[in-house]
């Protein structure tokens, strides 16, 4: 048996993301399709980082510059390996060899289209610092999966279904494709893999047989079937999303979040909701939503990139966009949109308003139909509403503008200048009345209609 020192056993990850994903039938590369509002590839990178991998290499295809750009933006150019042309999984892993350079330690191979696999699922592959370890799963329907032939925890073989005997086909332990080994051993074995098969490809699974021939230990550890689910088509993407959402919902329910209809609530990968919060049916959380304990999120609301403090109420039919920050006991009512506005404790916007770019002081009231006119066609500007101010219904606040503390704005106003604290601002045409005009007009029109009829 060859010795493959691993020093203090540092870790690296190779993430395979070079597949063309033609079955997705989408212009978006497969691994960039989102689950829980996050690209599947990012879920794989998250898992590698949570495992404390000091090196992460993503193998991309020459056909997907978008995937390369995505990886470079997150991990840098040094994380890129290119498989060109695509000649199988073994060939893809070998593409990462030069990028890993002088790394010494254990390497785990994962996949950019397996979004539900978490660090805790992968961790057991590092328990043995010698030989080859693969992750298997007990399949509900083994079908065409490769079977793991094991004995007392030892992995004897990975057998493809089309090559399996009836006895092997009866095995329900299947191969996930995830594998770990010391880096030196891994690439030595891959150097021996042949492509004498119908597709002319180099298969990563051949590494197990080659390791056994050399007397290296081979073993299997197991994860749940759902966690190792791969996504190759839109139907599988929807299935992965459903599984992801179930995990999120169960976790929030266990943490004390009230959801009368949890199956109708949609969470993102990073949603934070404190215990004691009440979430009504049909609420969507996009990325970056943080809700403190004891808030109430009412039906048909959408929250993304926003924070909601204790005691605040949102909705129904409200939209919080990135930068919205609601203080304690703030009320955002139906058909109100808030974007990049900080609302201090007790402030209210109960109906039909757009608040964009600014701040609203404590206990200020924003009337129905109010608009923060924040964009002049070229630049964004801020609106500031002071503490205790009252903005009447159907008001346009043309930014940049400040409404002072305790000031009032009359309904139907278009405010283009600052309003001093305590002042009343009216910006509308004076009302006039023409005595009897309406009655005379209606009589005339009725007579015309009667004559015409």
Catalytic sites, residue numbers: 351
> Residues near 413 by Cβ (< 8 Å), separated by ≥ 6?
392, 395, 396, 425, 426, 427, 428
Q: Which DSSP letter does residue 322 get?
A: T
Under 8 Å between Cβ of 339 and 356: yes
Buried/exposed 322-341: b ≥16 CB within 10 Å, e otherwise = ebbbbbbbbbbbbbbbbbbb
Cβ-in-10-Å burial (0-12, 13-18, 19+) of 263 comes to exposed
Evaluate the CA torsion angle 324, 325, 327, 329 in order and state its sign: positive
- Which residue is listed with tokens 């021996």? 192
Strand pairing partners for 273?
291
Please answer whether residues 10 and 77 qualify as being in contact, where contact means their C-beta atoms are separated by less than 8 angstroms. no
* Residue 21 contacts residue 30 (beta carbons within 8 Å): yes
**What is each CA distance from 275 to 103, 272, 295, 440, in whole angstroms?**
44, 10, 9, 65
**Cα separation, 177 vs 184, whole angstroms:** 19
């Amino acid at each position: 048996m060859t010795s493959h020192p691993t020093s203090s056993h540092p870790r690296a990850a190779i993430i395979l993301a070079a597949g063309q994903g033609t079955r997705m039938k989408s212009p978006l590369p497969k691994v960039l399709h989102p689950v829980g509002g996050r690209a599947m590839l990012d879920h794989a990178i998250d898992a590698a980082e949570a495992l404390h991998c000091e090196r992460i290499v993503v193998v991309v295809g020459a056909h997907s510059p978008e995937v390369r750009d995505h990886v470079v933006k997150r991990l840098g150019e040094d994380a890129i390996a290119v498989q060109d042309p695509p000649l199988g999984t073994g060939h893809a892993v070998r593409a990462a060899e030069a990028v890993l350079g002088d790394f010494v330690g254990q390497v785990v191979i994962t996949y950019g289209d397996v979004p539900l696999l978490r660090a805790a699922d992968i961790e057991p592959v590092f328990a043995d610092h010698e030989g080859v370890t693969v992750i298997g799963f007990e399949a509900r329907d083994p079908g065409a999966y490769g079977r793991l032939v094991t004995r007392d925890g030892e992995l004897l073989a990975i057998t493809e279904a089309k090559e399996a005997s009836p006895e092997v086909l009866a095995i329900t332990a299947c191969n996930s494709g995830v594998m770990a080994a010391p880096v030196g051993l891994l690439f030595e074995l891959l150097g021996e893999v042949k492509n004498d098969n119908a597709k002319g490809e180099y298969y990563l699974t051949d590494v197990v047989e080659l390791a056994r021939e050399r007397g290296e230990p081979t073993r299997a550890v197991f994860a749940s079937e759902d966690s190792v689910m791969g996504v190759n088509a839109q139907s599988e993407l929807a299935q992965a999303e459903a599984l992801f959402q179930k995990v999120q919902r169960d976790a929030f329910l266990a943490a004390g979040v009230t959801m009368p209809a949890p199956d109708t609530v949609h969470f993102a990968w990073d949603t934070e909701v404190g215990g004691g919060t009440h979430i009504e049916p049909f609420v969507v959380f996009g990325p970056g939503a943080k809700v403190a304990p004891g808030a109430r999120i009412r039906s048909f609301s959408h929250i993304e990139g926003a924070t909601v403090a204790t005691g605040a109420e949102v909705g129904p039919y409200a939209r919080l966009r990135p930068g919205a920050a609601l203080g304690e006991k703030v009320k955002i009512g139906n058909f109100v949109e808030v974007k990049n506005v900080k609302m201090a404790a007790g402030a209210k916007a109960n109906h039909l308003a757009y608040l964009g770019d600014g701040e609203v002081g404590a206990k200020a009231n924003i009337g129905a139909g109010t608009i923060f006119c924040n964009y002049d066609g070229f630049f964004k500007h801020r609106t500031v509403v002071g503490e205790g101010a009252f903005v009447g219904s159907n008001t346009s606040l043309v930014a940049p503008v400040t409404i002072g503390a305790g000031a009032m704005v009359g309904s139907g106003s278009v405010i283009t200048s600052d309003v001093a604290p305590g002042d009343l601002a009216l910006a509308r045409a004076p009302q006039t009345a023409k005595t009897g005009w309406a009655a005379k007009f209606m009589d005339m029109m009725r007579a015309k209609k009667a004559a015409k009829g």
